[in-house]
Structure 1
């Protein structure tokens, strides 16, 4: 208790001293603490650039273009201690490139970039402090995801024709090369001039196959045409067309001016036995057919003439009569 009383008395005197000073008219002395230095903290003070060991292959990073590299390509800032190298052949997607060159690889190559431009890149090489990135690889990943989305939603895409060959046309879809076989697009003619006139034009396509693992992309203009004519080509509809090709397995029948074809299989020509298609049908011949099947997935239309026969073998009889008439005219001449 004595200790407590002593402590309370000391505290009272300490508190009372300023009050007595004020009552006596003396100024109150105030002790000021010495100023302390103020430390300003910046978020960048805690930033540690990623080391090459922490960056893995195929990782997506933000790339800021710094400027041209001495040999070829660009230096880019990805946040590491040392600028990364963007090789010349990895700057962008170029779907019309088919060969490897100084500034190109199949499907990708060079284009001019401005300092300060920001892109997404993919790490393609790490060796010590040296890091290589590719904008084209990052763009290709995005393009394949978009192509897959287009396939899943089954929508038409306006593709640009890049080049043509005897087998078909190569078109650009999201800057990826896609192949359109002539069986899925109306071929305008056989001359080099007619085929080359297609380069640079646009066609509407839907996909036949999308396989990223094998880098296989196939498209069809016929599927788009078929989708637009589903009401006209419902099974059971009678349609007219022109025979444009004779095959061992049947005849190709042109159903519209824009190149939509159907297949008249050899088994669907007549209820009688047909051994040789060319003995019954000829190129340029007008035929009436019944639509028996429409497959919107592969763009095929199956036709039949035997279902229009009033009697089994009418198609054979008509072909025999035509052959006899043609032979008679030839003999008379």
Structure 2
């Protein structure tokens, strides 16, 4: 029976941008959610377009509705979006078609640097302006960013949205066969060493063996919150990091320094027990609650629903609070007000 079903021809349905379609989720890859649309081509939704909560909620076997973003990519897939970006929008400029076709492919574009701003490099590719964020440039390029203006670069498409005039690229470096071979041997969890090459506001670059590049995002430099990375790392400093991932386009090895350090939270958190009363200082007030600074970089949080009615909280204010829960996974201690009055309490 299965053999007979497999021999049935797939439906040929002409899809247009903006069409609403229903498909069954048949796979979730690192970058995409793949749907069976009942047609000759599979549909794909780029995970970049989805919040983390939505990605987690979608399971293989689910049937979901989506909209056609582009009827056929270079790889023959239907590019989908959970939002309708096509209906009632202006017609796409023909210059953008080649970028839409290159979604989810390994196509290399040639682009010229035309301007530099705080966030990265503005480029022109086939008559259309795009952007390469600093985080998508090699460490060498970041060091000499101004020199890239007027120069040709190899680029890989990261994101395209013609309606929002959005065209994002990543630099694609040229490597020797030796570098490619060295990169292929590096595995997640490996430990690597090298000197710091440059430090920026968002991360630091390190020189590794075989001409490879290591990148430490500011969030991976220390277990404590780092506001100024230059206060933690300096050019020429020798570091050891754990490999988090490998970026073959940039020839970059993404590293974590803090994974090789003892997490101070585990030790400090052991000193806190539910119902303990401690002194804490307000570090931030948000719509969801109040953040408190405790000790040794440990953060406490009082949810909005736990806050004392009528009480105001200001940054820098110190007060006694009650330990409600120690959350090891989120490295956070949940707090509650320390009430010194029984006013308003109801006894049964």
Normalised to the residue count of structure 1, the TM-score between the two structures is 0.39
Q: Is the helix fraction higher in 1 or 2?
A: 1
Q: Is the strand fraction higher in 1 or 2?
A: 2
Normalised to the residue count of structure 2, the TM-score between the two structures is 0.37
